Amino acid sequence: MVKFYQSENQVPLEMHKVRVVQKLTLLPVEERLKKIQEAGNNTFLLQNKDIYMDMLTDSGVNAMSDRQTAAMHIADDSYAGSETFNRFKVAIKEVFGTDHVLPAHQGRACENILAEAFVKPGMVAIMNFHFTTTKAHVTRCGGEVLELVDKKGLLPQSDDPFKGDFDLEALKKTIEEYGPEKVAYVRIEAGTNLIGGQPVSLANMLAVADICHDYGVLSVLDASLLQDNVYFMKTREAQCKYMSTKEIYHLLADKVDLIYFSARKLGFARGGAITSHNSELIKSMMEYIPLYEGFLTYGGIDVRTIESITEGLYESLDMDYISHGPEFIAYLVKELDDYGVPVIKPAGGLGAHLNCSEIVPNVPHNQYPAAAVGAALYIAGGIRGMERGTVSEQREPDGTERYAELELQRLAMPRRVFTLSQVKYCADRVKWMWDNRDIIGGLQWVEEPKVLRFFFGRMKEIGHWQEDLVAKFREDFGDSL
Ligand SMILES: Cc1ncc(COP(=O)(O)O)c(C=O)c1O
């Protein structure tokens, strides 16, 4: 943290500079209304050219460094046995200390392989919290996902530093109840995505790994959001303050059986991988790589991208880089909180999370409050967030809705991408939306896909609240964009 002389000027300070830029457009509000309605009120279906701030995700949209783009030029373009893969292995060894690695084209591809290899019908996969694609793969293989996040994790407003922690007693009880042989694996999700990017403490991760070891159950670390999580360990957990980032990564890799990650997040690039000290475990998954991904030394990832992951993995050890996302998010969360906007606290990694049940309490779960807030925010400012509420859940097998524990609209903070003035603009437009929350109404399905409906489902407004919101925007902002 760099201290400013005038404390009132204190803001997060970037330890990098921008050398490549991309032009943005901000459409007039009437156009924004048209675009969101054409997109079926699903922010996934908006076009990037129609968006001012793309806060949909932090996945695959992080800014690459000069070293990453430079590394892409030395990629060794061969189907098998490329030098590029050898350099990637060296980076994996440096970051995790592990010798064995299977590349896969992204995080969910790793999840597919883990599910194919370890989940059999009737088994359970235990996790602090599910991630959408993780759960879809487990259920596709006939398994069930059990979530054992500590109950503090579901409190929207809290000052607990590690809301992603497992309930350790519940973990032991659940393994005993089902019997270890029925547990496919226990998955620790670093930087728990769907509950607000909330971190898991090192102490909790190690305790989970120990419990798994005692019961003879496989432990898996989803390290996709580990770089944010490591930042929080170092800044919020006493035992980590004087540990290097590398020591933390290594300690975790020594304790858990398997690690997988999406390099769209960890590594500021694209792609993914599974790694372990245990060669037998890696062998048991090896056959799936050529089957689903590509040969063992590229796994469906273009060699230039592998070079960028390699460099990005080294950068994920660097506190100057990994602090940028969490510090910008903390800044946005503080601005929103000061404005009185209900936002998940404390600030986590990956983005700020608006608590939509409180923003639009008049919109019930079955009218999708988080999706409604997402549409309203695009109208308000050309800002694209992501629904992380009931729309992102799967219906129960009998077709009934499974209401989300938290109705969140996530405003992701792609790493090293936005300037602080853009973050301030975002806070300002959210504040306007909050002040006009009474106008916002619900949504109903027009087209609802059976699987991962949040990606391609289409909805429409109930009533005409969106037109009313546009009229109020014009009243308040005059001819401003
Ligand atoms: C925690 C976590 N695990 C897995 C994934 C899946 O990774 P990918 O998008 O690369 O398939 C994501 C993606 O957002 C994630 O946040």
How do residues 210-224 score in pLDDT, each as one tens digit?
A: 999 999 999 999 999
Question: In the predicted model, what is the mean pLDDT of residues 414-436?
Answer: 97
66-317 maps to CATH 3.30.300.30:
no
| Tens digit of each residue's pLDDT (9 = 90 or more) over 340-386 | 999 999 999 999 999 999 999 999 999 999 999 999 999 999 999 99
- Six token digits for residue 230: 């490591």
- Using the mean position of ligand 1's atoms as its centre, give its distance from the Cα of residue 386 in Å: 14
Q: Residue 462: pLDDT band by 50, 70, 90 thresholds?
A: very high
Question: In the predicted model, what is the mean pLDDT of residues 280-301?
Answer: 97
Q: Whose CA is nearest to atom 2 of ligand 1?
A: 224
Question: In the predicted model, what is the mean pLDDT of residues 22-51?
Answer: 98
Q: Is 378 exposed, middle or buried (0-12, 13-18, 19+ CB in 10 A)?
A: buried
Alpha helices by DSSP H, listed for 216-360, are 226-236, 245-255, 279-286, 288, 303-315, 319-322, 324-338, 356-359
Contact 82, 304 (CB under 8 A): no
Q: Residue 451: pLDDT band by 50, 70, 90 thresholds?
A: confident
- Using the mean position of ligand 1's atoms as its centre, give its distance from the Cα of residue 29 in Å: 32
> Which residue among 193, 195, 350, 392 is best mutated to probe the pocket of ligand 1, counting the most ligand atoms within 8 A of its Cβ?
193
3-class SS shares of the chain: helix, strand, coil, % to 5? 45, 15, 40
Does the CB atom of residue 262 touch ligand 1 within 6 A? yes
Asked whether the predicted pLDDT for residue 173 surpasses 90, the reply is: yes
- Using the mean position of ligand 1's atoms as its centre, give its distance from the Cα of residue 360 in Å: 28
> Which residue among 58, 189, 224, 229 is best mutated to probe the pocket of ligand 1, counting the most ligand atoms within 8 A of its Cβ?
224
Q: Residue 72: pLDDT band by 50, 70, 90 thresholds?
A: very high
* Residue ranges, CATH 3.90.1150.10, the chain: 7-58+321-477
Distance of CA 129 to the CA centre of its chain: 12
Name the CA dihedral angle for 258, 263, 268, 269, rounded to a multiple of 10 degrees: 150
Does the CB atom of residue 132 touch ligand 1 within 6 A? no
pLDDT confidence of residue 261: 98
Rounded alpha-carbon distances, angstroms, from residue 248 to 164, 183, 252, 447: 17, 27, 6, 46
Q: Whose CA is nearest to atom 4 of ligand 1?
A: 107
pLDDT confidence of residue 1: 79
Peptide bond into 449 cis (omega under 30): no
Does the CB atom of residue 225 touch ligand 1 within 6 A? yes
Asked whether the predicted pLDDT for residue 461 surpasses 90, the reply is: yes
> Which residue among 128, 205, 265, 266 is best mutated to probe the pocket of ligand 1, counting the most ligand atoms within 8 A of its Cβ?
265
* Residue ranges, CATH 3.40.640.10, the chain: 66-317
Does the CB atom of residue 133 touch ligand 1 within 6 A? yes
What is the value of pTM for the model shown? 0.94
**Catalytic (active-site) positions:** 79, 131-132, 222, 265, 388, 454
CA–CA gap between residue 396 and residue 401 (Å, rounded): 6
How many C-beta atoms lie closer than 10 Å to residue 346's C-beta? 19
Asked whether the predicted pLDDT for residue 156 surpasses 90, the reply is: no
| Tens digit of each residue's pLDDT (9 = 90 or more) over 88-121 | 999 999 999 999 999 999 999 999 999 999 999 9
pLDDT confidence of residue 294: 96
pLDDT confidence of residue 357: 96
Backbone angles phi, psi at 48, to 5 degrees: -60, -35
Distance of CA 196 to the CA centre of its chain: 9
pLDDT confidence of residue 342: 97
Q: Is 37 exposed, middle or buried (0-12, 13-18, 19+ CB in 10 A)?
A: middle
Q: Residue 397: pLDDT band by 50, 70, 90 thresholds?
A: confident
Asked whether the predicted pLDDT for residue 194 surpasses 90, the reply is: no
Rounded alpha-carbon distances, angstroms, from residue 342 to 169, 345, 353, 356: 31, 9, 9, 8
Ligand 1 atom at minimum distance from 133 CA: 6
Give a three-class secondary structure readout of 353-381: EEEHHHHCCCCCHHHCHHHHHHHHHHHHH
pLDDT confidence of residue 13: 94
pLDDT confidence of residue 394: 85
Alpha helices by DSSP H, listed for 44-102, are 66-72, 83-96
Name the CA dihedral angle for 52, 57, 63, 68, rounded to a multiple of 10 degrees: -150
Question: In the predicted model, what is the mean pLDDT of residues 187-205?
Answer: 95
- Using the mean position of ligand 1's atoms as its centre, give its distance from the Cα of residue 224 in Å: 6
- Using the mean position of ligand 1's atoms as its centre, give its distance from the Cα of residue 187 in Å: 13
| Tens digit of each residue's pLDDT (9 = 90 or more) over 309-349 | 999 999 999 999 999 999 999 999 999 999 999 999 999 99
pLDDT confidence of residue 464: 98
CA–CA gap between residue 21 and residue 19 (Å, rounded): 7
Contact 457, 449 (CB under 8 A): yes
- Using the mean position of ligand 1's atoms as its centre, give its distance from the Cα of residue 356 in Å: 23
Domain with residues 7-58+321-477, CATH architecture: Alpha-Beta Complex (3.90)
